[in-house]
C-alpha cells in the first residue's frame, strides 16, 4: 500500500507514510463521538449563517447533509475510513462527497482542536447522566431488598472477623450511601462542563465575527469558555469523569466481593440466581459467582484508565498536543465498564436469595455481645479501658472452657470485676444489642426504618432530577 495524499492543506510536499497513518489514526475509537460531531457542526453552520459568513443556501445544504450523515451514523451504515484519521475528517469527507466544494465552508473559524474538545464535552455530559441513571437503578434495588430485610440480622464484620450484630437492611444501606456519593460526583461534573470550547479555534480564537454565545446556547452550554487556550488544552473534566468512574467501580468491587464471600459454602448467606452464575467445566456441583468476580476484576480497568490520562496530561505544555488523542479510549472504556457493571450487579442483587436462617445462626454467636457487656460496666461508672480488659478476660475464660457468655451468673462475672450489677442473661440479648444502638446512623429498627424512608425520598428526588435533565438536553 502506497502513501496517500494528506486530506488537508498545501503545506506538505510528501504524503504520509502508511505506517504513520495506521499509528496515528483514531477513527477506530473516536467514531463514538460521531453524533456529537454532527450536533456541534450543525450549531456552527447555523451560527455562521446568522453572522453572514455563510449564505442561507449554504447553511441549508450543510445542515441537510449533516443530518443525513447523522442518520447514517446512528443506523450504523456510515463507512468510516481509517485513512481519514479521525471522526471529524470522515464526516467532512462524506459531506464533501455529498455537497461538493460547499462542504469546505463548514470549517470556517473552527479548528479540530476546539471541535474535539466540544465533542468530548457533549459526550461526557451524556456519559455522566448515564452513570447517574445506572447508579439510580442499583440504589433502588438496594432499598427494595433492604426494605424486605429490616428484621434479618447478621454479623457485621471488621477485619473479616465477626464483630457486632446488624440488620441486613442497615448493611445494604451502607452501599446505598456510597453509591449516592458516586451519583453526586457525576452530577457535580456538570459544573465543569458548563462552558463551550467551540469558537476557541486552534488556541487563540478567530478574527472572524463568530457568535460563541449562540453556539454555546444551541449546544446546551451555559456560556462560552473564558480562555481559548485553556479550552483546547485542558481535560480535567475528563479526569474528573474517570475519577468518578474509578471510585464507583471500587465501591462496586467491594459489594461484589461480599457477594462472592457470602455465596460461598463457608458463609452460605446468599445464593445468586442461575442467570447470574456459571458452572464449572470440570466439577458438576459448582455454582460460581462469576458476575461479581468479573465486576471486582474490572475495577482495575477503571483505575488504570484514570492513571493513563493523568500520566498523559502531566507533562503537556500549552496548548493542544497530539498526546491528547489518548484521552478517548480510557474515557469510552470506563463509561462502558461502569455501565455494564452497574447493570449486572443490580440484576444480581435483585434476584439473589437470602438465607435468613444462616445469617441468624451466625448472628447468634454470643461473642458478638462482648462490647455490650463492657458498656454495662461503663454504665456502672467503670472506665472503658478497665471494662474492656475485664471483659477480654471473660471472653478468654469462656473460650477456653467452651462456655456461653450469656450463661454467666452475676457471681461468675464478679470474679472478673465487682461492678457487674447482675448476670449476663439479664445484661445481654441480641434484640437489645440492636435496639439500644439507636443513635443517628445506628442499626436500631427505628433508625433503619427512618433511613429507608429518607432513601426513598432521595431516590424520588434524584429520579425527578434525571428526568428534568433528560428533557432539557
CATH number for the domain spanning 428: value is 1.10.40.30
Whether 310 is covered by a domain: the verdict is: yes
Say what percent of the chain tops pLDDT 70.
Answer: 96
Q: pLDDT, tens digit, for every residue of 433-449?
A: 999 999 999 999 999 99
Query: Is the same domain home to 381 and 357?
Result: no
DSSP track, 185-215: HHHHGGGGG-EE-TT-TTTT--SS---HHHH
Mean pLDDT along residues 301-310: 98
Q: Which of 13, 159, 281, 400 is catalytic?
A: 159
Query: Is the same domain home to 178 and 289?
Result: yes
pTM to 2 decimal places: 0.92
Mean pLDDT along residues 115-125: 98
What is the chain's mean pLDDT, rounded? 94
Query: Is the same domain home to 257 and 318?
Result: yes
Domain that holds residue 405: 365-435
pLDDT at 20: 75
The answer for residues whose C-beta is within 8 angstroms of residue 333's C-beta and 6 or more apart is: 301, 305
CB contact at 8 A, 300 and 341: no
Total number of domains constituting the chain: 3
Mean pLDDT along residues 10-37: 81
Active site (annotated) includes residue 159: yes
Residue 117 has pLDDT above 50, yes or no: yes
pLDDT at 15: 76
Query: Is the same domain home to 65 and 179?
Result: no
Residue 8 has pLDDT above 80, yes or no: no
Whether 13 is covered by a domain: the verdict is: no
456519593: which residue's cell?
181
Whether 238 is covered by a domain: the verdict is: yes
Query: Is the same domain home to 270 and 339?
Result: yes
pLDDT at 470: 53
Residue 149: phi and psi, rounded to 5, are -125, 40
Mean pLDDT along residues 124-146: 98
The enclosing domain of 202 has a CATH number of 1.20.200.10
Say what percent of the chain tops pLDDT 90.
Answer: 89
Whether 8 is covered by a domain: the verdict is: no
Residue 408 has pLDDT above 70, yes or no: yes
Among residues 67, 85, 108, the one where a domain terminates is 108
Query: Is the same domain home to 125 and 102?
Result: no
Query: Is the same domain home to 279 and 402?
Result: no
Query: Is the same domain home to 196 and 95?
Result: no
pLDDT band at 471 (very low <50, low <70, confident <90, very high): very low
pLDDT at 28: 83
Which grid coordinates are listed for 451? 433511613
Mean pLDDT along residues 387-409: 96
Q: pLDDT, tens digit, for every residue of 306-328?
A: 999 999 999 999 999 999 999 99
pLDDT at 2: 41
Mean pLDDT along residues 419-440: 95
Mean pLDDT along residues 399-423: 96
| Residue with more model confidence, 11 or 223 | 223
450543525: which residue's cell?
42
Whether 5 is covered by a domain: the verdict is: no
Residue 5 has pLDDT above 70, yes or no: no
Residue 7 has pLDDT above 60, yes or no: no
Mean pLDDT along residues 95-122: 97
* Adjacent-strand bridge partners of 445: none
| Residue with more model confidence, 85 or 405 | 405
Q: Which of 24, 264, 280, 473 is catalytic?
A: 280
Active site (annotated) includes residue 107: no
Question: What gap in Å lies between CA 279 and CA 426, rounded to an integer?
Answer: 49
Q: pLDDT, tens digit, for every residue of 211-236?
A: 999 999 999 999 999 999 999 999 99
Question: What gap in Å lies between CA 5 and CA 15, rounded to an integer?
Answer: 5
Among residues 108, 125, 144, the one where a domain terminates is 108
Q: pLDDT, tens digit, for every residue of 26-73?
A: 888 889 999 999 999 999 999 999 999 999 999 999 999 999 999 999
Distances 216 to 53, 195, 279, 449 between C-alpha atoms, Å = 18, 7, 53, 46
Whether 7 is covered by a domain: the verdict is: no
Among residues 85, 108, 131, the one where a domain terminates is 108
pLDDT at 9: 53
Whether 39 is covered by a domain: the verdict is: yes
The enclosing domain of 99 has a CATH number of 1.10.275.10
Query: Is the same domain home to 391 and 330?
Result: no
Whether 4 is covered by a domain: the verdict is: no
Question: What gap in Å lies between CA 370 and CA 363, rounded to an integer?
Answer: 13
pLDDT at 10: 62
Query: Is the same domain home to 222 and 126?
Result: yes
pLDDT band at 4 (very low <50, low <70, confident <90, very high): very low
Query: Is the same domain home to 50 and 80?
Result: yes
Query: Is the same domain home to 278 and 306?
Result: yes
pLDDT at 266: 96
Question: What gap in Å lies between CA 280 and CA 287, rounded to an integer?
Answer: 7
Q: How many C-alpha atoms does 443 have within 13 Å on its Cβ side?
A: 22
The answer for residues whose C-beta is within 8 angstroms of residue 109's C-beta and 6 or more apart is: 44, 48, 53, 199, 201, 206, 208, 210
Amino acid at each position: 500500500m502506497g502513501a496517500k495524499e494528506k486530506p488537508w492543506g498545501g503545506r506538505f510536499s510528501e504524503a504520509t507514510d502508511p505506517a504513520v497513518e495506521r499509528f496515528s489514526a483514531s477513527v477506530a475509537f473516536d467514531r463514538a463521538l460521531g453524533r456529537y460531531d454532527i450536533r456541534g457542526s450543525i450549531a456552527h453552520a447555523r451560527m455562521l449563517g446568522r453572522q453572514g459568513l455563510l449564505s442561507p443556501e449554504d447553511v441549508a445544504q450543510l445542515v441537510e447533509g449533516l443530518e443525513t450523515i447523522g442518520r447514517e451514523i446512528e443506523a450504523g451504515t456510515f463507512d468510516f475510513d481509517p485513512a481519514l484519521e479521525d471522526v471529524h475528517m470522515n464526516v467532512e469527507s462524506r459531506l464533501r462527497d455529498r455537497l461538493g466544494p460547499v462542504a469546505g465552508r463548514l470549517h470556517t473559524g473552527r479548528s479540530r482542536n476546539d471541535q474535539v474538545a466540544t465533542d468530548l464535552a457533549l459526550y461526557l455530559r451524556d456519559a455522566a447522566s448515564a452513570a447517574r441513571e445506572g447508579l439510580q437503578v442499583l440504589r433502588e434495588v438496594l432499598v427494595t431488598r433492604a426494605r424486605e430485610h429490616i428484621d434479618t440480622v447478621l454479623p457485621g464484620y471488621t477485619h473479616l472477623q465477626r464483630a457486632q450484630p446488624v440488620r441486613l437492611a442497615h448493611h445494604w444501606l451502607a452501599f446505598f450511601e456510597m453509591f449516592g456519593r458516586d451519583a453526586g460526583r457525576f452530577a457535580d461534573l456538570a459544573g465543569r462542563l458548563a462552558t463551550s470550547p467551540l469558537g476557541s479555534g486552534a488556541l487563540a480564537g478567530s478574527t472572524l465575527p463568530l457568535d460563541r454565545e449562540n453556539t454555546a446556547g444551541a449546544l446546551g452550554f451555559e456560556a462560552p469558555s473564558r480562555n481559548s487556550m485553556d479550552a483546547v488544552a485542558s481535560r480535567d473534566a475528563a479526569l474528573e469523569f474517570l475519577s468518578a468512574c474509578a471510585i464507583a467501580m471500587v465501591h462496586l468491587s467491594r459489594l461484589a466481593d461480599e457477594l462472592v464471600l457470602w455465596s460461598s459454602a463457608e458463609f452460605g448467606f446468599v445464593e445468586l440466581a442461575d442467570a447470574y452464575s456459571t458452572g464449572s467445566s470440570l466439577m458438576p456441583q459448582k455454582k460460581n459467582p462469576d458476575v461479581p468476580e468479573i465486576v471486582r476484576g474490572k475495577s482495575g480497568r477503571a483505575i488504570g484508565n484514570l492513571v493513563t490520562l493523568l500520566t498523559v496530561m502531566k507533562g503537556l505544555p500549552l496548548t493542544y498536543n497530539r498526546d491528547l488523542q489518548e484521552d478517548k479510549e480510557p474515557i469510552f472504556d470506563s463509561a462502558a465498564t461502569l455501565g455494564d457493571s452497574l447493570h449486572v450487579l443490580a440484576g444480581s442483587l435483585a434476584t439473589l436469595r437470602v438465607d435468613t436462617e444462616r445469617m441468624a445462626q451466625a448472628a447468634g454467636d454470643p461473642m458478638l455481645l462482648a462490647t455490650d457487656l463492657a458498656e454495662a460496666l461503663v454504665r456502672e461508672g467503670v472506665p472503658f479501658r478497665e471494662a474492656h480488659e475485664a471483659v477480654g478476660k471473660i471472653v478468654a475464660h469462656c473460650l477456653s472452657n467452651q462456655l456461653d457468655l450469656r450463661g454467666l451468673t452475676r457471681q461468675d462475672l464478679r470474679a472478673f470485676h465487682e461492678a457487674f450489677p447482675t448476670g449476663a442473661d439479664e445484661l445481654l440479648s441480641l434484640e437489645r444489642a440492636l435496639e439500644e444502638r439507636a443513635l443517628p446512623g445506628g442499626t436500631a429498627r427505628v433508625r433503619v426504618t427512618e433511613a429507608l424512608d429518607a432513601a426513598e425520598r432521595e431516590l424520588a428526588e434524584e429520579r425527578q432530577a434525571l428526568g428534568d435533565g433528560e428533557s432539557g438536553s
